[in-house]
Amino acid sequence: MTAPLRQIEPIQVSVALGARAYDIIIGRGLVASLGERIKALRAGARVAIVTDETVSKLHSGAVEASLKAAGIDSARITVPSGEGSKNYATFEKVCESIIDARIERNDLIVALGGGVIGDLAGFTAACVRRGLDFVQVPTTLLAQVDSSVGGKTGINSRRGKNLIGAFHQPVLVLADTALLDTLPKRDFRAGYAEVAKYGLLGDATFFAWLERNWQDVFAGGPAREHAIAVCCRAKADIVARDERETGDRALLNLGHTFGHALEAGCGFSDRLLHGEAISLGMALAFEFSAQKGLLALSEAARANAHLATVGLPTHLKDVQGGVPPVDTLMDLIAQDKKVKRGTLTFILVRGIGQAFVETNVSAAEVRTFLSEKLAEQ
């Protein structure tokens, strides 16, 4: 597989969910078409744009201009940037602001931002007036390939990530790849962890392509749009089969059990971005699988080498300021959403592209593994 030529027309990926089906549109410069696309979906609807302070300065003007050109009235609701906004207080503020703006049940919410905004705005849309439709306009790589698709919405608890939320599908995802040009390098790199995840969990050919073409993905050439489309197709297929995560969809959590615990243990702060936590979590998942004899150590080394090559963390010592002790990490892992009746579930691997769901994982075995990794710091 070689890097593709730039597509003139946007790429369209459909999420087949019957009456709740929707499209993901991928390409450069798509924000200009947002107003007309919303008008076609919901003629006469008003829009509340939920965004954060950073994205608002960069992109809200273009979004509002597109809406205005289509004759759509809009109100902007801005929250502080960062994971800290996924909390009860900000959720309440956004809910009340939407109600104050007199957004009705036939109107729309537009989530303009990264994963934090998508989760927060989507959860708000699921709750206000017992459910409003919403459109995802993801502005980060992580959101374009993962969190904007599939309808998972929510906020964080002090006991863990995304523990309060709802499944609420968008009616449209508009992934304008030009918006990624404004991302800081660290944020783009963190998002790439989710790109690599799709290869590592179920597509060895795509992972090999990434090993050869990752620099083009970072540079913003046609390879970037191709990679985003591959990831979106993979997620759309899984979501169509298992919307509520009762089976295959759990595979999308490769690296997330370890990663979410580390992210929460670092206080959902800039010490460890979400994508960085997932990179570290995937590295640990591959090493844990190798320790259990599920795959060759060389396969784990290959996976981790690629993550390290692009600049992502693969060792606990890579975390700024260190990580919490094993007792804290185990308490956080016990709060993972995949825990069933107190037993641990992990996404493990038999090789690159061969992830599977393992239930009844021994907590003692995980504790020993993490203790050994902590001792290596």
Q: Select which of 152, 168, 197, 373 is catalytic.
A: 152
What contacts 45, CB < 8 A, 6 or more positions away?
Answer: 38, 72, 106, 107, 108
Of the candidates 245, 276, 287, 299, the residue annotated as catalytic is 245
Between CA 265 and CA 332 the distance in angstroms is 8
Q: Looking at 42, 59, 197, 249, which residue is catalytic?
A: 249
Query: Has 315 been annotated as catalytic?
Result: no
Neighbours of 207 (CB within 10 A): 21
**86, 161, 168, 260: which one is catalytic?**
260
What is the distance between the alpha carbons of residues 119 and 160, in angstroms, rounded to a whole number? 15
> Which one is catalytic: 156, 162, 213, 253?
253
Other Cβ atoms less than 10 A from the Cβ of 314: the count is: 20
Among residues 130, 185, 360, 376, the one annotated as catalytic is: 130
CB 157 within 8 Å of CB 164: yes
Task: Determine which one of 168, 224, 256, 306 is catalytic.
Answer: 256
For residue 83, indicate whether it is catalytic: no
Is 168 designated active site? Answer: no
**CA-to-CA distance for 52 and 123, rounded, in angstroms?**
16
- 225 catalytic, yes or no? no
**C-alpha to C-alpha distances, 128 to 49, 131, 165, 224, nearest whole angstrom:** 14, 6, 13, 36
Active site residue 253: yes
Catalytic residue among 83, 194, 243, 287: 194
User: Given 233, 235, 338, 373, which residue is catalytic?
Assistant: 235
Catalytic residue among 59, 189, 274, 306: 274
Q: Is 59 considered catalytic here?
A: no
Q: Is 235 a catalytic residue?
A: yes
Q: What is the crossing angle of helices 256-265 and 274-291, to 10°?
A: 130
249 is catalytic: yes
130 a catalytic residue: yes
304 is annotated as an active-site residue: no
Count of C-beta atoms within a 10 Å radius of residue 93: 15
- Catalytically active residues, by annotation: 130, 152, 194, 235, 245, 249, 253, 256, 260, 274
